[in-house]
Amino acid sequence: MTAATAPTETVPPAGEAIVPLVEARGIVKRFGTFTANDHVDLAIAPGEIHALLGENGAGKSTLVKMIYGSLQPTEGRFFWKGEPVGITDPNTARRLGIGMVFQHFSLFEALTVTENIALALSDVADINALANRIATVSRDYGLPLEPRATVADLSVGERQRIEIVRCLLQEPELLIMDEPTAVLTPQEADQLFVTLERLAGEGCAVLYISHRLEEVKRLCHAATILRHGKVVGHVDPRVETAAGLARLMVGADVHAVRPRHARTAGPTRLHLDRLDLPASGPFAVALDRVTLELRAGEVLAIAGVAGNGQSELFDAISGERTVSRADAVRIDGRDCGRIGVTGRRELGAAFVPEERLGHGAVPAFRLSENVILTRHATCEDAGLRAGFIDARRAGSTAARVSEAFDVRKGRPDPEARSLSGGNLQKFVVGRELDRRPTLLVVNQPTWGVDAGAAALIRQALVDLAADGSAVLVISQDLDEIFEIADRIAVISRGRLSPAYDAHVMTLEKIGLLMGGAHGGSDRIDDAEKLREADGHAH
Amino acid sequence: MRIELEKRAERSAVMAWASPLVAVAATFVTGAIIFAAIGIPPLKGLYVFFFEPLSSLWSLEELVVKATPLILIGVGLSVAYRANVWNIGAEGQLTAGALAGAFVPIFYNSWQSPATLVAMLALGVLGGMVWALIPALLKIRTGANEILVSLMLVYVSQLLLDWLVRGPWRDPHGYNFPKSVSFEGWQTIPTIGDGRLNLGIVVALAVAVGLAVLMRHTLKGFEVRVLGEAPRAGRFAGFSSDRMTLFVFLLSGGLAGLAGIVEVASTVGQLQPNISPGYGFTAIIVAFLGRLDPIGVVVAALMLAVSYLGGEAAQVALGISDKAARVFQGVLLFWVLACDTLILYRLRIVRGAPAAEGV
């Protein structure tokens, strides 16, 4: 981090106060006929925390991959401290002093922190010396990390620290962070901001990729906004309003979800009673006495940091994994713990999994075929007659769903994998809502989806509940949860907290429940016992 | 300059059909090179191998006879492979089917009625199914790899056949040759005309059409394709991959067994140590060359049958080993799999990287 003060050979052009640390000029990147980056300019000064804002698919990742050397620009040049450079591969980038923390970590769960970092570094002579350096660096930057801990035992926040420390060991002058807070609790995010500010204070520039406007406003000194591969603005986020930034990102005003009418408690649609599910593998999460009651007409959201049992819970509710105790899962009053997913759909339930491609839809199948996937047993118009598929009816159902949910596609009936994330998600959600389910369970409804599609999906979920269905939303996005939920529960290490009314929930409270591993879950149990005791007393 | 593979947004409909043709052309080129390398004029070699078999009525009939078992086995395998279940042991299921079907003429030698043939064919199917059930159940129960188990069972069934025809099932009046009694009358499949062409091809074509309808127009076919393409999505749809493993093994095993009994009840006419020139393995190539589509398999089976006839012709006319046919089949499979890449990717020639010169 001291290299920034080293003398450079180049004389800055007259009139420019500081030579930018890194500069992109006229960067164009084409994939076939698709232009991902269209004459993008970007300049980052030393010690600056620079936000790169944009919706999914705006070209943020493409630009960053070129700065990190994993992609090559079709046109345009990069300048490093005023000198033109070709960043041909990530090794070159690292030699220049560029470090990157990816959104999805590449860590070996069975190895220790030190071993993982040693694998990423090219020249490790002495593993004990490395462990000491890790301890020193992590302490210096407020990133507490135990070098001998096994990665599998660490939380996502701690795993992210490993990646950050790995970058810091290479003494970068530019640190790229790709959506770092997507996987963190609010408290962990706060801690990260302190670290980043400290790094910036020492002269290290940070390129911060995000679509969370509040944290960009709070943390960043400058922002470059991308839309459809083009730069639509270089702004100072500290003086812009969040709404103004959103307008630049989306190109139009984002509609807020319409408030719903007063909730009327309907009959119980989904009842989980001390649901246990063993872990499916050595590093998977087991569900531990999950209890939940979901009524018609309400949206219940389950918050939690990724990897705390959300997908296991979804599988157990959808029936993809069955349990031995039939009354652990009740849909509309019927015991169905041992019934599979088709039987549960026949009871009026519908499910939208987290993973669109390969779980919610078959990538190589056309939309009309993907309609049949979840509706073959329950719907007349899925296009099935006596075991035979009626392609015409399946096609018209797919067209109806696409029409109702504004699914944009190049041709009438494309393969699922050719759709963008947002459009496919609209289709997958729309396919289920088209059945008018009495119970809908959605895992990460707007994960990786652009703001326009996210607003449409959230509105549809709220409307479904208003029409008298029960909606269960599992989400990591707290803004989304506060926008649509009537009640909120938090999942942590396979345990579910009681559900609280959304208006009494605060970010701090959710954060505490998310950190349940540090004694929190026991407190929840105690609270439950207290309430049970109260109930008996009255 | 370098060549890059670029992912297509959707699978290319043109390449899906062009890929096997490119593969066949590439096989001709490779074949020509091989012929040249062993001192045979390449064009003469290719003519003898691939075109002479198509030049007379006799050899066209023989082509259909050779294609019959390839179709029966190939269509079954194409369904199994679509479901991502790898039955490599069709040769063993063929042998098991032949053994089970031959039970009737060997132990009820005097029974002569149309029902005799029906019983033989039914037992043949059953024998193939039982043999296929072993890798299926081991895979479901213990997670054993079906490729290895089904392949190893090929050798078990062939040794069983060898022992039976040399021992208990040997023809008592056969001068100690390792052969069973010859099948006569209703113990054989009726022929069409006076050559070796028989009704087996009608059965094979009917099965191919039936499976084409199953795969394209029914929920069961949909289930096969979903579980093969995206098992997680299949589970989400409420389909069971264990039941699918069982289904496709029983289907492909039963059809291989049928091919086995059809073969011994027609062209072979009795049980003997060698009843198949590797139809069960060649059918794997047939299934892929036919795009794992039952109708495509029929076309591919006819093409592979050419290589069997060409192998025989090359032995006579060129004096090269009968293993040449196997070489050509292997080269063809190689090119088919290689060309299939072009369905999902396109080739692009890149001239230099623009950013590279700055270093």
Of A462, A482, A483, the closest CA to residue A471 belongs to A462
A319-334 pLDDT, tens digit each: 999 999 999 999 999 9
Instruction: State the pLDDT confidence band at A9, using cuts at 50, 70 and 90.
Output: very low
Beta bridge partners of A349: A439
| Radius of gyration of the CA atoms of chain A, in A | 25
The residue to which tokens 């309430």 are assigned: A531
Residue B352 predicted with pLDDT over 60? no
> Are residues B236 and A365, on separate chains, in Cβ contact within 8 Å?
no
A58-112 pLDDT, tens digit each: 788 889 989 998 888 999 999 999 889 988 888 888 889 999 988 777 788 888 9
User: Taking a C-beta distance cutoff of 8 angstroms, is the pair B19, B338 a contact?
Assistant: no
Q: Are strands A34-44 and A22-31 parallel, antiparallel or unpaired?
A: antiparallel
The vertex-B180 CA angle with B176 and B186, nearest 5°, equals 145
Compute the distance between CA of residue A200 and CA of residue A210 in angstroms, rounded to an integer: 18
The token pair that represents A255 in the structure block: 């509609």
Residue A10 predicted with pLDDT over 70? no
> How far apart are the CA of B213 and the nearest CA of chain A, in angstroms?
9
> Are residues B236 and A341, on separate chains, in Cβ contact within 8 Å?
yes
In this structure, what are the phi and psi dihedrals at residue A24, rounded to the nearest 5 degrees? -110, 130
Compute the distance between CA of residue A287 and CA of residue A94 in angstroms, rounded to an integer: 42
Tell me which residues of chain B have a C-beta less than 8 Å from any C-beta of chain A: 6, 9-11, 217-220, 222, 225-226, 229-230, 232-233, 235-238, 353-359
Cβ neighbours for B159, distance < 8 A, ≥ 6 positions apart: none
Compute the distance between CA of residue A446 and CA of residue A448 in angstroms, rounded to an integer: 6
Please state, as a whole number, how many other Cβ atoms lie within 10 Å of the Cβ of residue A524.
19
Among the partner residues B10, B217, B226, nearest to A415 by beta-carbon distance = B10
Compute the distance between CA of residue A82 and CA of residue A44 in angstroms, rounded to an integer: 11
Of A73, A63, A57, A62, the closest CA to residue A43 belongs to A63
Among the partner residues B220, B232, B359, nearest to A88 by beta-carbon distance = B359
> Are residues A418 and B10, on separate chains, in Cβ contact within 8 Å?
yes
**How far apart, in Å, are the Cα atoms of A478 and each of A68, A182, A473, A483?**
30, 10, 11, 8
Please state, as a whole number, how many other Cβ atoms lie within 10 Å of the Cβ of residue B357.
10
> Are residues A85 and B232, on separate chains, in Cβ contact within 8 Å?
no
Q: Which residue of A has its CA nearest to B358?
A: A86
Give the max Cα distance, chain A.
82
Q: What is the pLDDT of residue A256?
A: 62
Across A280-408, where does the E strand assignment appear?
A: 287-295, 299-303, 329-331, 334-335, 349-352, 384-385, 388-389
User: How many residues can be counted in chain A?
Assistant: 538
Q: What is the pLDDT of residue A263?
A: 59
**How far apart, in Å, are the Cα atoms of B126 and each of A168, B122, B253, B261, B325?**
67, 6, 9, 11, 31
Query: Which of B219, B292, B340 would best serve as a mutation to test chain A binding (most A beta carbons within 10 A)?
Result: B219
Q: What is the pLDDT of residue A295?
A: 93
The token pair that represents A339 in the structure block: 């019934």
Q: Are strands A222-227 and A49-53 parallel, antiparallel or unpaired?
A: parallel
pTM: predicted TM-score of the whole model, two decimal places: 0.76
Q: Is A337 helix (H, G, I), strand (E, B) or coil?
A: coil
The token pair that represents B159 in the structure block: 């040794």
Cβ neighbours for B341, distance < 8 A, ≥ 6 positions apart: B5
In this structure, what are the phi and psi dihedrals at residue B3, rounded to the nearest 5 degrees? -105, 130
Of A229, A221, A185, A228, the closest CA to residue A204 belongs to A221
**How far apart, in Å, are the Cα atoms of A397 and each of A383, A424, B84?**
8, 15, 29
> Are residues A363 and B230, on separate chains, in Cβ contact within 8 Å?
yes
The vertex-B9 CA angle with B3 and B10, nearest 5°, equals 110
Q: What is the pLDDT of residue B350?
A: 72
Q: What is the CATH number of domain A45-69+88-250?
A: 3.40.50.300
Please state, as a whole number, how many other Cβ atoms lie within 10 Å of the Cβ of residue A85.
18
Q: Which residue of B has its CA nearest to A96?
A: B359
List every span in chain A annotated with CATH 3.40.50.300. Answer: 45-69+88-250, 268-348+437-537
Q: What is the pLDDT of residue B106?
A: 93
Query: Residue A284: enclosing H or E segment and its boundaries?
Result: none
Of B335, B283, B228, B264, the closest CA to residue B98 belongs to B264
Task: Give the right CATH number for A268-348+437-537 from 3.90.1150.10, 3.50.50.60, 3.40.50.300, 3.30.460.80.
Answer: 3.40.50.300
> Are residues B220 and A86, on separate chains, in Cβ contact within 8 Å?
no
Of A520, A515, A522, A521, the closest CA to residue A187 belongs to A515
B308-337 pLDDT, tens digit each: 888 888 888 888 887 888 888 889 889 988
Compute the distance between CA of residue A16 and CA of residue A21 in angstroms, rounded to an integer: 13
Compute the distance between CA of residue B197 and CA of residue B186 in angstroms, rounded to an integer: 16
The residue to which tokens 């290490």 are assigned: A493
Q: Averaged over B283-289, what is the pLDDT? A: 93
The residue to which tokens 């109260």 are assigned: A534
Instruction: State the pLDDT confidence band at A530, using cuts at 50, 70 and 90.
Output: very low
Tell me which chain B residues have a C-beta less than 8 angstroms from the C-beta of A360: 233, 236
Among the partner residues A74, A84, A358, nearest to B232 by beta-carbon distance = A358
Where is mean pLDDT largest: A480-484, B23-27, B192-196, B249-253? B249-253
When the pLDDT of each residue in chain B is averaged and rounded to a whole number, the result is 90
Tell me which chain A residues have a C-beta less than 8 angstroms from the C-beta of B6: 31-32
Which residue pairs, CB below 8 angstroms and at least 24 apart, start in B184-192? B184/B105, B184/B112, B185/B112, B186/B112, B186/B113, B186/B114, B186/B116, B186/B117, B187/B104, B187/B105, B187/B112, B187/B116, B187/B117, B187/B120, B187/B265, B188/B117, B188/B265, B188/B266, B188/B269, B189/B117, B189/B262, B189/B265, B189/B266, B191/B266
Determine the angle formed by the axes of helices B294-317 and B200-217, rounding to 10 degrees.
140
Alpha carbon A395 to chain centroid, angstroms: 32
Tell me which chain A residues have a C-beta less than 8 angstroms from the C-beta of B11: 364, 415
Compute the distance between CA of residue B327 and CA of residue B285 in angstroms, rounded to an integer: 12
Tell me which chain A residues have a C-beta less than 8 angstroms from the C-beta of B340: none
Can you give the three-state secondary structure of chain B, one letter per residue? CEEEEEECCCCCHHHHHHHHHHHHHHHHHHHHHHHHHCCCCHHHHHHHHHHHHHCCHHHHHHHHHHHHHHHHHHHHHHHHHHCCCCCCCHHHHHHHHHHHHHHHHHHCCCCCCHHHHHHHHHHHHHHHHHHHHHHHHHHHHHCCCHHHHHHHHHHHHHHHHHHHHHCCCCCCCCCCCCCCCCCCHHHCCCECCCCCCECHHHHHHHHHHHHHHHHHHEHHHHHHHHHHHCHHHHHHCCCCHHHHHHHHHHHHHHHHHHHHHHHHHHHHCCCCCCCCCCHHHHHHHHHHHCCCCHHHHHHHHHHHHHHHHHHHHHHHHCCCCCHHHHHHHHHHHHHHHHHHHHHHEEEEEECCCCCHHHC
Residue B353 predicted with pLDDT over 60? no
For chains A and B, count residue pairs whose Cβ atoms are closer than 8 Å. Answer: 98
B134-148 pLDDT, tens digit each: 999 999 999 999 999
Query: Residue A38: enclosing H or E segment and its boundaries?
Result: strand A34-44
Judged by phi (left if over 0) then psi (alpha if -120 to 50, else beta), residue A44 lies in: beta
Compute the distance between CA of residue A197 and CA of residue A109 in angstroms, rounded to an integer: 29
Lowest mean pLDDT across A163-172, A207-216, A399-408, A529-538: A529-538
The token pair that represents A144 in the structure block: 């507490």
Instruction: State the pLDDT confidence band at A384, using cuts at 50, 70 and 90.
Output: low
Give the max Cα distance, chain B.
88
The token pair that represents A121 in the structure block: 């570094």
Q: What is the pLDDT of residue A261?
A: 54
Q: What is the CATH number of domain B2-350?
A: 1.10.3470
Residue B357 predicted with pLDDT over 60? no
Beta bridge partners of A295: A268
Tell me which chain B residues have a C-beta less than 8 angstroms from the C-beta of A355: 232
> How far apart are the CA of B137 and the nearest CA of chain A, in angstroms?
21
Q: What is the pLDDT of residue A264?
A: 64
Q: What is the pLDDT of residue B212?
A: 96
Compute the distance between CA of residue A205 and CA of residue A19 in angstroms, rounded to an integer: 13
When the pLDDT of each residue in chain A is averaged and rounded to a whole number, the result is 83
Of B216, B359, B294, the closest CA to residue A69 belongs to B359
Instruction: State the pLDDT confidence band at A342, using cuts at 50, 70 and 90.
Output: very high
Instruction: State the pLDDT confidence band at A517, using cuts at 50, 70 and 90.
Output: very low
Compute the distance between CA of residue B183 and CA of residue B261 in angstroms, rounded to an integer: 11
Q: What is the pLDDT of residue A252?
A: 64
Cβ neighbours for B179, distance < 8 A, ≥ 6 positions apart: B165, B170, B171, B270, B271, B272
Amino acid (1-letter code) at residue B272: Q
